[in-house]
Amino acid sequence: MRRSDRTLALQLPRPSFALARLLRRPSFSASDYAMRWSKAELARLKEISLVAQRETPEHKLLFVLGVMPRSGTNFLFELLCQQPRIARPVPGFDEFPFLGTSEYFKDYKREFSRFHPSSGEAFGDLDWMGFAAAGLRNFIAVRNAGAQATAIKEPHVIGVELFEALFPRDQCLLVLRDGRYIVDSYMRSFARNRFSRTFEDVCLEWQAAASKFADFAQSADPARVKVVRYEELDADRRGHLSHIMAWVGLELDADALARVDELPVFGSSTHSARDGKVDWTPVKPSADFKPTTRAIEWDNKREETFERLCGDLNRAFGY
C-alpha cells in the first residue's frame, strides 16, 4: 500500500481528518519530518551499527532518496541497476521506508518492557532499529555477493537524519528536482478523488521535505552523501552516471553506459497513465516526453499557493 493510501486508511476514521478532506483543506502533518533524536542517541545507534554489521569492503549499499515522491528516484535507480556491478535488493522490495519507522521500534521496546520491565529498559529507543538494519544489511551482502553494491530506493526523506548512524559504511544519493514539477506530478499521479490530498497539502509536504533535504545535504559527509539534480541527470545521462560511479568507487561498464538512452519510462504522470491512474509498466518514451521542460498548467490560485509556501525554498535550490 502506497504511503498516501495508508495514511488515508489510518486517518479517515478521525472526524477532524475526514472533515478536512471533505472540505478540501490541508490535512498534512509536519510531525513525520521532525527531528526526534539527540546526538547521544545517534552516537549510540552508530556504535551498534558498526558492531553489529559485518565489514564488507567488497559490497556496499547505495541508497537513492528523493525529496518526496515524483522526485526521480526511480529514474536514477534504474540507471544504476543497468550497471552489472550494482544489484537490485534482496528480498525483492521496491521501496525502503525503513528510515521513517523509528517509532515502531520504540513500540517494540515498550512491548519488551511489558513482559519484563527491567530487561526492556536495558535497551535504548533506537537499539532494535540498529539490530534490524544490521541483520538486513548482512543478509543483502551475502545474497548479492556477486555484485559490488546493492541499490536501494526510497522517495521520502522521512528519518533521513538516521542514515549515517544506521548505515555508517554505505553511501546515499539524494535526488533533487524542481519543486514545481514534483508537486504537479504528484497531483497528476495521486490526487484522483474527493478524499485525495489538496494542492496546498502537497505543497506543505514539499516545504517540510525540502527543508529536511536541505539540512541533511548541508550537514552530511560529502564522501557518503551526494546530491544529484534530476534535470542535469536527464540532460546528460552518460556524464552524470560516470561521475556517480566514480564517486561510489565502482568501475563503469562501457557497454551498459552506451545503452542509457534506451531506458524506458517508469510511472510517468504524463506518459504512463492507464485506467485513470499511473501505471509502472515500462513504456518506450515518445518524442514529446519532456519531463523537465513540459508546460505546467496551473491556474492563478495554484501559482500563488506554490509561491507562498514553496517559492523561496525552490529558488534557494536554484529553480
Q: What CA–CA distance (Å, rounded) separates 297 from 141? A: 46
The CATH number assigned to the domain with range 26-316 reads 3.40.50.300
Task: Write out the H or E segment, with its range, that includes residue 216.
Answer: helix 199-219
pLDDT in tens, 5-32: 545 544 555 667 676 666 676 778 888 8
**Which of 134, 135, 140 lies closest to 167 in space, CA to CA?**
134
| Region of poorest pLDDT, from 15-19, 248-252, 275-279 | 275-279
Is 90 exceeded by the pLDDT of residue 219?
A: yes
**For the chain, what are the domain ranges?**
26-316
Q: What CA–CA distance (Å, rounded) separates 165 from 160? A: 10
pLDDT in tens, 64-106: 999 999 999 999 999 999 999 999 999 999 999 999 999 888 8
**Which of 99, 79, 126 lies closest to 213 in space, CA to CA?**
99
Indicate the pTM of the whole model.
0.90
